[in-house]
Amino acid sequence: MIRGGGIPRCGMLVTVQADEWRGTPVTATKTEARLADGRALYYYDAEPGTDRDAKDTRDLPETTTNSEIRWDPLLDQWVVIASHRQGRTFLPPADQCPLDPSRDGRQTEIPAEDYEVVVFENRFPSLSTGAVLGPDPDRHAHQRRPDDDPLLTRRAGVGRCEVVCFTSDHSASFSSLSRQRVETVIDAWVDRTEQLNALPEVEQVFVFENRGEEIGVTLSHPHGQIYAYPFVPPRMRRQNESTRRYRDRTGECLHCALLAAERSAGVRIVRETDLFTVVVPHAARWPYEAHVYPRRHTPDLPSLTAEERTDLAGVYLDLLRRFDSLFPTPTPYIAAWMQAPARHDRDLAHLNAQVFSIRRAAGKLKYLAGSESGAGVWVNDISPERAAAELRDAPIA
């Protein structure tokens, strides 16, 4: 286990077995395949019976990485160093997209001629199960220092990075998907979260989508990613510490208490069903930011019931369509799924999706400038109440 949220301390961490939170098994049909360089690929189909025997015939070299993580003792967190990613594919023409199906003699990352949802290991991963720590850059023939200097700690970048393709349609977006397709995407997220949580080196599974060149995407095909970290990231760790302190003081879940307070206030609620609430948080950092919360206290995607997953598909799709209705052009956004760590503090976490955009007005972006990047203090240009009203009133096609 790696420090920075992963080391249990007496009286601070509560261990809950994953089986205690297990939800309904996924209904999508999963087919596993291997790419030419040995990376795993998984097809997810809404119905059984689809032929997924296509082979990857490309001549690919074995994937190698020199990723490592370095400890920042001042900020009490890990930093991933992945210099090999500088050579990754960057905004290729549409007819050369590596996430399209393999058709007309052109081989891509997906061997099939068509697909519904596909997940595969990233060819340029920030973290890898096979990562090996390279030579110490601080060690020279004329220099001596301890083998494990706590101020200059580094480890191999062990973990996993996967790509999630939502559709074979290059020109589509998540908001244009059918509800049934979103249910299949959720099944894929659930399955991959379960499988990655089971890896001994993994402490946190993070599901997310970057949408739009303004966000920094390098491929325009509609897709998301899954990172399996060997530590609990600082944002999740800080939330867990806050929820622990609140529970120790009140005996209640901080997430549940915040959700109840927002529902009572009402002004920042975007949409509600019997099972989910969509809310712009009271202290929103981004111009347009909304969180999707299950009303039931549940730690992660795999713990959702079948009814909750079905309802989530509609609620989440509705929110992304509202985001896309805010401006004349597609809204750039990040969608981040906050789940419980793999092993510890699972009872403290409350699953939620955080969707936010850096666009503050048509043609204007919110940059993380001096206050945000230098001091860590967010300055929001739009009041959360106004953002919630605009999202509520956004026309849905």
Catalytic machinery residues: 223
The DSSP bridge partners found for residue 294 are 276
What is the C-alpha separation between 46 and 27, in angstroms, rounded? 7
**Contact (CB, 8 A) for 297 and 314:** no
Q: Shortest CA distance to 78 belongs to which of 229, 239, 241?
A: 229
**Contact (CB, 8 A) for 18 and 301:** no
Q: Shortest CA distance to 164 belongs to which of 220, 219, 118?
A: 118
**Contact (CB, 8 A) for 41 and 133:** no
Fill in the amino acid letter for 334.
I
Q: What are phi and psi of 70, to 5 degrees?
A: -125, 140
The DSSP bridge partners found for residue 210 are 334
Q: What are phi and psi of 189, to 5 degrees?
A: -60, -45
Instruction: Give pairs for 331-334: CB < 8 Å, separation 24+.
Output: 331/211, 331/212, 331/288, 331/357, 331/359, 332/211, 332/212, 332/213, 332/214, 332/215, 332/357, 332/358, 332/359, 333/209, 333/211, 333/212, 333/215, 333/288, 333/357, 334/208, 334/209, 334/210, 334/211, 334/215
**Helix, strand, or coil here: 228?**
strand
What is the C-alpha separation between 180 and 190, in angstroms, rounded? 15
As given in the structure block, the two tokens for residue 353 are: 């999706």
